[in-house]
Structure 1
């Protein structure tokens, strides 16, 4: 499994970027390749797909966007190409809001998404997104008290949700949550995790 790729953008094509990693070139399919500049150093969280006829690597600027891509793949009839097109047509925030608000009109504007696919997105993902605390449709996100040490993805989303509610963007919140977890000497409660993440953001 390839978890991430860090290197320099060698060149861009219509659906992928070529990343130079110490002289080795990786073809990484990304949403909106031309948002990256040639010569730019990038860090992409990746999803690796192995098929009988190909091995494909998909990359995203944040782990959260990569995890949303993986959630989209859980929907019946949605493959990597379709999921990538959705993330190219909308920001993660817009896509999640449309699903949570059951906004069929907005979802069907995405390339390759008809009414049936839009309905499956809502049916399969609305509750999952709520459970994972991806509540972008709300102006504020309540914190759930948790005295047990959080270790799973859902707990991390609670921390990120709290940071988003305080005005940080998705990339900043994702970075702070990860760094706080990595730098902790022992398991953290959700409240401790949030405090440590805020301390890191103030020092940044």
Structure 2
């Protein structure tokens, strides 16, 4: 089992990276979008927590910034009809913590925001994992945890056309800045951050 890869970042794309280890072996790791967004510059040192999937047509190594992300990925693989590609897609469309909360709260609507996940698929994932996801806690964070008000603000931004991940990130940034916590203030603050890009 290859549980971790550390080395020099040689190449990166939206869905994969190539890491050259000190031993002279380069590993290609498939990654979700949040990992891509947090990558260092080419030539810098990178450590990824990895999960190896062995298939008939080859081996694929999946890489994550934190062990918590890998644990959620591994849980998703236990749901009926969820393979590595879809599990990676779920973690690319939603933040890891939002996936955990959606499963714990049996939130079908949130899971349906993921491409290729319809109502039946979302319900099946929840059926298979809702009682098992408690073993994976929400990731520790230095920022303030999302609140029900924050969730309402994220939903409002998604309704305006922003994707789940960028909406969640913008709302969390506003909350962490100490801004007022009512929904309208969070939405306005998040919009100012999103439109400033």
TM-score normalised by the chain length of structure 1: 0.63
Could you tell me which runs of 5 or more consecutive residues in structure 2 were left unpaired when the two chains were aligned: 144-197
Secondary structure of 1:127's aligned partner: coil
Closer, same or farther in 2 for the Cα pair 1:73/1:133, shift >3 Å?
Answer: closer
Judging changes above 3 Å, is the alpha-carbon distance between structure 1 residues 133 and 28 closer, same or farther for their aligned structure 2 residues?
A: closer
Unaligned runs of 5+ in 1: 137-159, 170-204
Q: What is the distance in 2 between the residues matched to 1:111 and 1:39?
A: 33
Q: In 2, distance between residues paired with 1:99 and 1:24?
A: 38
Q: CA deviation at 1:14?
A: 2.8
Instruction: Give me the whole-angstrom Cα distance separating, in 1, the residues matched to 2:78 and 2:19.
Output: 28
- Give every structure 1 segment of 4 or more consecutive aligned residues whose post-TM-superposition deviation is greater than 4 Å: none
* Paired position in structure 2 for 1:106: 110
Matched, 1:30 2:31: yes
Task: Give the equivalent residue in structure 2 for 1:58.
Answer: 62
- The answer (yes or no) to whether the contact 1:72–1:83 under 8 Å persists in 2 is yes
Aligned to 1:200: none
Match of residue 125 from structure 1: 129
Q: Normalising by the residue count of structure 2, what TM-score does the alignment of the two structures yield?
A: 0.65
Cα gap change, 1:34 to 1:12, in 2 (>3 Å): farther
Tell me, in whole angstroms, the C-alpha distance in 1 between the residues paired with 2:43 and 2:125.
37
Aligned length: 139
